[in-house]
Amino acid sequence: MFKHLLPRMRERSAAANRPVSLSDMMEEFWREPFGNLSPLFRDAGYPAVDVSEADGVVTVKAELPGLDPKDVTISVENDALILRGEKRFEDEQKKDDYHRIERAYGSFSRVVPLPGKVKEAEAKARFEKGVLTVTLPRDAAEAVRNIPIEGA
């Protein structure tokens, strides 16, 4: 019955640059279910990381609760820090029947872009209270150089 109306509704949605009908909203949802969420949630990965820089040192902090340092490998490739590891499900209580399991388990890999070249040989990592802290000194040869502007 409404089949002949759908093309006209879509034309109005395209002209308005937003969904006009419920059918357009549903189609948009099925095309990209989480497209309307903020980029903070859409681009989130595991583990959650903070990247900062001070005094020529890049610091990356990653939350890895429940893991040991032996469960994680760290490497630097193509101006990116790569964190890999596995969080294992250790069912110590074999007799327990779980009603809900919300914690994530399994392998993970996270590529964290670095703000420039770093000295991989001088990188250091520390694991404390479930937080992995990696410090990477910037490569002085790749430092930002200001270019003076000549006036007329």
Same domain, 2 and 24: yes
Q: Residue 70 has what DSSP assignment?
A: G
H and E: helices and strands count for the chain: 3, 7
Range of the domain at 81: 45-91+103-142
Same domain, 22 and 62: no
* 24-28, 35-39, 76-80: the lowest-pLDDT one: 35-39
Same domain, 31 and 75: no
Taking alpha carbons only, the member of 63, 62, 44, 53 closest to residue 115 is 53
Q: Which residue has the higher pLDDT, 42 or 69?
A: 69
Cβ neighbourhood burial of 116 (10 Å; 0-12, 13-18, 19+): middle
For 48-63, how does the pLDDT look when each residue is reduced to its tens digit (9 = 90+)?
999 999 998 999 999 9
* pLDDT grade for 73, boundaries at 50, 70 and 90: very high
Domain-embedded: residue 109: yes
**Residues paired with 121 in a beta bridge:** none
Same domain, 51 and 37: no
Cβ neighbourhood burial of 132 (10 Å; 0-12, 13-18, 19+): buried
Check residue 41 and give its pLDDT.
Answer: 45
Q: Which residue has the higher pLDDT, 96 or 147?
A: 147
Same domain, 35 and 57: no
Task: Provide the number of structural domains found in the chain.
Answer: 2
Q: Which of 7-11, 50-54, 114-118 has the highest mean pLDDT?
A: 50-54
Same domain, 5 and 19: yes
Q: Kindly report the CATH number assigned to the domain that includes residue 108.
A: 2.60.40.790
- Using an 8 Å Cβ cutoff, are 80 and 111 in contact? yes
H or E stretch covering 12: helix 6-16
Would you say residue 75 has pLDDT above 90?
Answer: yes
Same domain, 78 and 113: yes
- For residue 122, what are the contacts with CB-CB under 8 A and spacing of at least 6? 136, 137
